[in-house]
Amino acid sequence: MNYPYPLLAREGWLFVAIAALVAFIVQGFSPWLAVPFWLLFFFVLQFFRDPPRSIAGIGDGSGSVVAPADGRVVAVEETEDPYLKRQAVKVSIFMNVFDVHSNRSPVDGEVRAVWYNPGKFVNAALDKASSENERCATHLEGANGQDVTCVQVAGLIARRILNYAEPGMKFTRGQRYGFIRFGSRVDVYLPPDADVRVSLGDKVYASSTLLAEFAKVNHA
């Protein structure tokens, strides 16, 4: 899904139109009564903003991993990748309702698999959200053979994960591949020897923040 995105994500066009229409209708009856509806309209408008981004990376970028989402880093830990059944370093990014919710590929690579798991909608800032919430995982094989699992996790308010990736598709770093509506989380599982460049509590931006570099390149 690599069409030239405008400043407003197409996933939000309907929501923005409905919010604007309701505000206009109420405005016709009472300008004062319409104030909260206009505030709602501006909230929806800012939620679905989708600005262009620069792409972080060093050299040709084949060893670079960029942030797949805007938000704050809430976990950097060694754990098991539950999808590829391997040891990994997990970096988790929590998106609040004021962050941009467009999701982008963290690496140059090919989609090997996509898994969807239904689940709960607990607060996405909690660790248990990674294993209990509704989620959609995308396995990307990097340009030099590195495996990266990128997991979109629904949150307390988020009720819709949109993932446009399909096995066989090829992405470049920063290419848009999905969207999550209204607050959520993205987990990135990296090889254990990846050199993570962010720390707990850091604010990151999709595509333009360097998340990690591969310490070793595993040739196929």
Pair (39, 147) in one structural domain: no
Specify the pLDDT at position 219: 44
Pair (25, 133) in one structural domain: no
Q: Taking the model in full, what pTM does it have?
A: 0.83
Contact 173, 196 (CB under 8 A): no
d(CA 139, CA 142): 10
Per-residue tens of pLDDT for the chain, all 220 residues:
444 556 888 888 888 999 999 999 999 888 899 999 999 999 989 888 888 888 887 666 668 899 999 999 999 999 999 999 999 999 999 988 888 889 999 999 999 999 988 766 555 555 665 666 788 999 999 888 899 999 998 866 656 788 999 999 999 999 999 988 776 889 999 999 999 999 999 999 999 999 999 865 544 4
Pair (97, 186) in one structural domain: yes
Structural domain range at position 28: 10-47
- What are residue 162's DSSP bridge partners? 179
d(CA 149, CA 152): 10
Specify the pLDDT at position 1: 43
Specify the pLDDT at position 216: 53
Residue 68 lies in a domain: yes
Closest CA relative to residue 169, chosen from 115, 110, 104, 116:
110
Specify the pLDDT at position 89: 96
Residue 220 lies in a domain: no
Kindly list the catalytic residues: 184
Pair (15, 124) in one structural domain: no
Pair (43, 90) in one structural domain: no
Distances (CA, A) of 39 to 7, 46, 204: 19, 11, 27
Residue 53 lies in a domain: no
Contact 41, 23 (CB under 8 A): yes
Q: How many separate domains does the chain show? A: 2
Residue 16 lies in a domain: yes
The CB density around residue 152, as the number of other CB atoms within 10 Å, is 29
* CATH number, domain containing residue 209: 2.70.70.10
Pair (14, 121) in one structural domain: no
Specify the pLDDT at position 98: 87
Pair (92, 151) in one structural domain: yes
Phi, psi of 23 (to 5 degrees): -65, -40
Closest CA relative to residue 174, chosen from 202, 143, 209:
209
Pair (70, 130) in one structural domain: yes
Specify the pLDDT at position 131: 62
Distances (CA, A) of 54 to 14, 50, 69, 140: 28, 13, 13, 21
Specify the pLDDT at position 2: 44
Dihedral over alpha carbons 107, 150, 181, 161 (to 10 degrees): 120
Residue listed under structure tokens 């960029």: 66
Pair (29, 68) in one structural domain: no
Distances (CA, A) of 43 to 34, 48, 97, 157, 164: 14, 9, 9, 15, 25
Residue listed under structure tokens 């880093």: 73
Pair (168, 76) in one structural domain: yes
